[in-house]
Structure 1
Amino acid sequence: MTHTHTARQPVHHDRPGHGPAPEDDSALPEMLDLDAALGAPVLAAALDAAQRALTTVPRTVVEPRTIVDLGAGTGTGSLALAARFPDARIHSLDAAPQMLHRLASAAAEAGVADRVSTHLVDLDGDWPAAVPLGVDLAWAALSLHHVTDPERLLRQVFDVLRPGGVLVVTEFADVTTYEPADLGTGREGLGDRVVSALAAHGYPITAEWTSALTAAGFSPVDRTATSLIASADTTDGARYLELNLTRNRDFLRDDLNDSDLTALDAAIATLKEGTSGIRCTSGRAFWAAVRPGTTDTEARR
């Protein structure tokens, strides 16, 4: 397994974009909501993969009853899981109280509060004590790379899953690209320089989990490559790109020259004005990994 990893911090979605969160990140909840809206096709495909992996024999699907969302953030995954699997109880784990509060409010608004339980817990701690044994489905969306010892966490997930249970991991992957490359400013290669400068700091944090999942005992392990696309042609896309480029501009102010920073300011201004034509493609991947089971009866408990 190869992955870029930073120093330990509480596991929650503190990096929804492609650079680090600023100290005063009041826009984070909005960024997460926009990331969820734009990433809906990726989420739906990952849910489809989970449902397929829960098939114990051809055309026989085991509907999950107990689901764990590892690093739940504001709850996009938890709510989607509750909607897709209406008989399931969702255990949503995160180390940030404000995220769990927002998640609980969203669950109430969606009418699923009776099936979504929040747990304030760090994934580097004894999180298995907060969830029941015999979990049917574990979900880790853009959270696993924040853990100090991912291999340990994968073994823990393996242990809490029932035979035939499934883990789905979603991660940043590959490269980020901007079109046009000048971000509509006439500053040739500006987008590429932003991507390169972020990469020099280790962003986006990407990981390749196939071998680690296999080493933890999962089989089969299926990987699917996909991408999140944000286009300024839509209101959500323009706002997402505005927030994303603003965060990155602040972080890279010592890495880019004055001309590039000025051009970034101009690109951000056009996004605010609704006159931008920027499009960003961010690589994503998800894995559906099964804890081997011996019989259909065992898988159904």
Structure 2
Amino acid sequence: MQSLPTVVDMTPTTPAHPAQPAAHGHHHERPGHGDRPGHGPAPENDTDLAELLDLDAQHAAPVLAAALDAAAAALGHAPREVVDLGAGTGTGTLALAARFSGARVHALDASAGMIERIRASAALSGLSERIETHLVDLDTDWPAAVPHEVDMAWAALSLHHTSDPSRVLRQVFDVLRPGGVVVATEFSGATTYSPADLGTGSSDLGGRVVSALATRGYPVTAEWTEALVAAGFSDVSRHEATVAVSSRTAAGARFLELQLQRNRELLGDELGADDLAGLDAAIAGLGAGASSVDHTSGRVFWVAVRP
């Protein structure tokens, strides 16, 4: 298998792990990792979540670019119809429309608020004529909302939100034309903070936050290699990457501030008073631009072809 251009520790792999649904089911929120809530629409008034999603996408841009490169190579021709499944704030939708200038991109999401954000972003980017939005839940008959014989399907951090991902993958197979390509992305679970005390002097505070999140089932990870094969896809390739965020940039500091705030809200009943106070100090330091924290998280994406 050809290696893709290097993206922060990215190496292609082809493990034979069994397909697994999201850890602890699909009803969880993933506030610690910039993901939208679990199954169902995102909160309509959660502006911090939308900002967190956009900041996460900004830092994961090299992974997005690599996935687009791999998808284009696997397809081998310019797509005409592309579907973005669980489009969220529309980062992938706009990237797909920008990369494939002759394609119509269909953005599907169960949140009316996210759909409105996509429409606004498309208008601002001059892409409204080629981006079509659909307010639809992936657990319903979403294929009825999109054209037959789609060239490319894109599912970024969305499959684990569905009640039956294998069913969704079979539906994707059915809507793709022969030779069509599907791309799916997920978190891989590798998360670190440096310094481990989050700049507070509280030894290994970041490690305890990561451990507490893991106990709650975060990050919600999934493995789709065998599920893609079972759905009928061929030439399935799996690629791992690491996304790095640093508070030395304004965007990185804001991301970490929002991320730790959501972690604190989630873990408020599980961490001791000292750790909660440490988190408060870390959040305040990031907000004031007075804290130096680095964060890494793992990502994985799959590219597969309908024979």
Distance 1:88 1:142, change over 3 A: same
SS state at 2:73 partner:
helix
The match for 1:40 among 61, 84, 105 is 61
Whether the aligned pair in 2 keeps the contact of 1:67 and 1:91 (CA below 8 Å) is yes
5 Å-filtered alignment, 1:154-233, equals: 154-233=169-248
Post-superposition Cα deviations, 1:37-64, rounded to whole Å, max 9, x if no partner, equal 1111111111111111112xxxxxx110
- Counterpart in 1 of 2:11? none
Distance 1:15 1:85, change over 3 A: farther
Whether the aligned pair in 2 keeps the contact of 1:16 and 1:35 (CA below 8 Å) is no
- Counterpart in 1 of 2:71? 50
Cα separation, 2, equivalents of 1:98 and 1:148: 22
The match for 1:29 among 41, 50, 61 is 50
- Counterpart in 1 of 2:139? 124
Question: TM-score of the superposition, structure 1-length normalised?
Answer: 0.90
Following TM superposition, by how much is the alpha carbon of 1:113 offset from its aligned partner in structure 2, in angstroms? 0.2
Q: Runs of 5+ in structure 1 lacking a partner?
A: 56-61, 293-301
Distance 1:190 1:7, change over 3 A: same
The match for 2:81 among 62, 66, 75 is 66
Cα separation, 2, equivalents of 1:17 and 1:40: 15
Cα separation, 2, equivalents of 1:129 and 1:260: 49
RMSD: 1.9
Following TM superposition, by how much is the alpha carbon of 1:35 offset from its aligned partner in structure 2, in angstroms? 1.3
5 Å-filtered alignment, 1:141-156, equals: 141-156=156-171
Cα separation, 1, equivalents of 2:135 and 2:27: 14
- Counterpart in 1 of 2:21? 3
User: Which one-letter code corresponds to 1:26 in the other structure?
Assistant: T
Cα separation, 2, equivalents of 1:222 and 1:82: 23
Cα separation, 2, equivalents of 1:194 and 1:166: 38
Following TM superposition, by how much is the alpha carbon of 1:30 offset from its aligned partner in structure 2, in angstroms? 1.1
Post-superposition Cα deviations, 1:167-223, rounded to whole Å, max 9, x if no partner, equal 000101032111111111111111111011111111111001101101111111000
The match for 1:77 among 83, 92, 105 is 92
Post-superposition Cα deviations, 1:93-124, rounded to whole Å, max 9, x if no partner, equal 00000100010010011001000000010000
Cα separation, 1, equivalents of 2:271 and 2:34: 16
Following TM superposition, by how much is the alpha carbon of 1:4 offset from its aligned partner in structure 2, in angstroms? 2.8
Cα separation, 2, equivalents of 1:253 and 1:16: 13
Whether the aligned pair in 2 keeps the contact of 1:5 and 1:146 (CA below 8 Å) is no
Moved more, 14-23 or 38-47: 14-23
Question: TM-score of the superposition, structure 2-length normalised?
Answer: 0.88
Cα separation, 2, equivalents of 1:245 and 1:16: 7
User: Which one-letter code corresponds to 2:82 in the other structure?
Assistant: I
Distance 1:16 1:185, change over 3 A: closer
Cα separation, 2, equivalents of 1:238 and 1:255: 25
User: Which one-letter code corresponds to 1:261 in the other structure?
Assistant: L
Moved more, 29-38 or 204-213: 29-38
Following TM superposition, by how much is the alpha carbon of 1:127 offset from its aligned partner in structure 2, in angstroms? 0.2
SS state at 1:220 partner:
strand
Cα separation, 2, equivalents of 1:73 and 1:19: 9
- Counterpart in 2 of 1:295? none
Percent of aligned pairs with the same residue? 60
User: Which one-letter code corresponds to 2:50 in the other structure?
Assistant: P
Following TM superposition, by how much is the alpha carbon of 1:270 offset from its aligned partner in structure 2, in angstroms? 1.0
SS state at 2:47 partner:
coil
Cα separation, 1, equivalents of 2:256 and 2:134: 32
Whether the aligned pair in 2 keeps the contact of 1:219 and 1:290 (CA below 8 Å) is yes
SS state at 1:282 partner:
strand
Cα separation, 2, equivalents of 1:219 and 1:16: 34
The 4+ residue runs of structure 1 with deviation greater than 4 A are: 5-10, 13-16, 18-24
